[in-house]
Amino acid sequence: MTVLTLPRADRPLVSVVMVTFGGWGLTRRALEAVVEHTRLPLEVIVVDNPTPEDVAARLREEVTGAHVLENDRNEGFGPAANQGAERARGEHVLFLNTDTLVGSGWLEPLVETLGSDPRAGAAVPMFLNEDRTVQEAGGLLFEDASTLMYGFGEPPTDPAYRFRRYVDYGSAACLLLRRSEFLEIGAFDPAFVPAYCEDVDLQLRLRESGRRTVYEPRSAVVHARFGSSGLDEQAAARLVDRNAEILRERWGHVLADRPPRPEAGVPEHAHRVLAARDADAVVRILVTAPDAPRELLAALLDRHPSGRVTFLSTPRAPDVDDLGRLGVEAAGPSGDPEAWLRARRFHYTAVLAVAEDPDERIAAALAEHQPQAPALRCTDADEAESALTGAGVLPDRLAGRLDGID
């Protein structure tokens, strides 16, 4: 038996909190990955909800450096996670499931996001399935309190999942918050015991306090669904249904403004998933140009931080990851721009053409699938703002303002 030694910084920046409920094999694997792939100063706090497997005993025998809190009975995920957060010494608390597998560079982008964005209150990674397809690129919330893992089963290289943005919520399988704010908003509510939907409720309260959850795709974490709960998918679904009723009762005033859930397998509803992703983005700007006008794109996001800025390259492939770090969705060159724009029909507030007009194929597709979006010309951010204002496409409360959407 090899003893696993966990880091225990004197002044941890991040306190990693893991809740165990059996599943020692997955727990050991998750801890090994944290040791191998984490460079920032941290501490690890494990809160054990007991099972006959006696994970706490295995931790004592095979692991050093962890703070282990042992419960006498199963407290459920939320209350146990709260116990860990209360004991934490780090500026940030990161809830990490035992059924996750972190990789190189996983933590730094999440911490950087909270430090660089004054609106950010939580940060979540791109979750991957064990086959390395997307599991969740941010969660979507609908009017009936149901949720959808955006991007499930799709390739992580798809540009639609590779840009930073505000999201409705992110799974607590890997969720980073400032410890002080987590405690100030009331932590996880025990009403959702034993598990599920407490992360949605928490992030709705966080949003009510003026903070947003940020999806940061530079961080990627593999998640074996249902591995940490000890439940099968049907049992988990029953808990989700029960706890969604709590969300409906508590958050009806918020859910009333959420979009209806698209019907699975109905092609005509596919574009509604995109509409749900961007439901909060009052300003949706599609920028076309031969090369990415990086300064213009950055300025648009700075002025409309809750908006959606998409760059469609015409002849050359854009640097998707560079623009994604800014929060710009990048696409192109599209071999079939008509199909790409058809999948986003009636989606954009305006189209900005930089340097030259779009080619004939894109222009025709824009006219057919984005007829509501005026086509405007500009060379810089000031011209863009003036053109948007002049065309009357900015909401009255935004026109002339530089601080964007509240």
CATH code: domain of residue 362 = 3.40.50.720
Q: What residues contact 173, with CB distance under 8 A and at least 6 apart?
A: 95, 96, 97, 99, 100, 127, 221, 223, 228
Residue 343 burial class via C-beta count within 10 angstroms: exposed 0-12, middle 13-18, buried 19 and up: middle
Find the length of the chain.
406
pLDDT score of 333: 65
Which structural domain range is residue 20 located in? 4-254
Is residue 404, in this structure, part of any structural domain at all?
A: no
Residue after which a domain boundary falls, among 254, 271, 291: 254
- State whether 35 and 160 are in the same domain: yes
Is residue 261, in this structure, part of any structural domain at all?
A: no
- State whether 57 and 116 are in the same domain: yes
**CATH assignment at residue 123:** 3.90.550.10
**Taking a C-beta distance cutoff of 8 angstroms, is the pair 390, 268 a contact?**
no
Residue pLDDT tens, the chain, 406 long: 789 999 999 999 999 999 999 999 999 999 999 999 999 999 999 999 999 999 999 999 999 999 999 999 999 999 999 999 999 999 999 999 999 999 999 999 999 999 999 999 999 999 999 999 999 999 999 999 999 999 999 999 999 999 999 999 999 999 999 999 999 999 999 999 999 999 999 999 999 999 999 999 999 999 998 766 566 778 888 999 999 999 999 999 999 999 998 877 666 667 788 989 999 998 999 999 988 999 999 999 999 988 999 999 877 788 999 999 999 999 876 667 888 898 898 999 999 999 778 888 889 999 999 999 999 999 999 999 999 999 888 765 444 443 433 3
Is residue 121, in this structure, part of any structural domain at all?
A: yes
pLDDT score of 392: 87
- State whether 220 and 348 are in the same domain: no
Is residue 260, in this structure, part of any structural domain at all?
A: no
Q: What is the 3-state secondary structure (H, E, C) of the chain?
A: CCCEECCCCCCCCEEEEEEECCCHHHHHHHHHHHHHHCCCCEEEEEEECCCCCCHHHHHHHHEECCEEEECCCCCCHHHHHHHHHHHCCCCEEEEECCCEEECCCCCHHHHHHHHHCCCEEEEEEEEECCCCCEEECCEEECCCCCEEECCCCCCCCCHHHCCCEEECECCCCEEEEEHHHHHHCCCCCHHHCCCCCHHHHHHHHHHHCCCEEEEEEEEEEEECCCCCCCCCHHHHHHHHHHHHHHHHHHCHHHHCCCCCCCCCCCHHHHHHHHHHHCCCCCCEEEEEECCCCHHHHHHHHHHCCCCEEEEEECCCCCCHHHHHHHCCEEECCCCCHHHHHHCCCCCCCEEEEECCCCCHHHHHHHHHHCCCCCEEEECCHHHHHHHHHHCCCCCCCCCCCCCCCC
Is residue 178, in this structure, part of any structural domain at all?
A: yes
- State whether 19 and 145 are in the same domain: yes
Q: Which residues pair with 68 in a beta bridge?
A: 46
Cα angle 162, 165, 167; round to 5: 115
Which residue type, as a one-letter code, is found at position 336?
A: D
Is residue 267, in this structure, part of any structural domain at all?
A: no
- State whether 112 and 188 are in the same domain: yes
Stated pTM of the model: 0.93
- State whether 250 and 314 are in the same domain: no
Q: Which residues pair with 128 in a beta bridge?
A: 134, 222
- State whether 180 and 306 are in the same domain: no
- State whether 292 and 172 are in the same domain: no
pLDDT score of 395: 67
- State whether 95 and 217 are in the same domain: yes
Is residue 400, in this structure, part of any structural domain at all?
A: no
Q: Which residues pair with 352 in a beta bridge?
A: 287, 376
- State whether 245 and 306 are in the same domain: no
Cα–chain center distance at 208: 17
Is residue 259, in this structure, part of any structural domain at all?
A: no
Q: How many domains does the chain have?
A: 2
- State whether 124 and 248 are in the same domain: yes
- State whether 156 and 305 are in the same domain: no
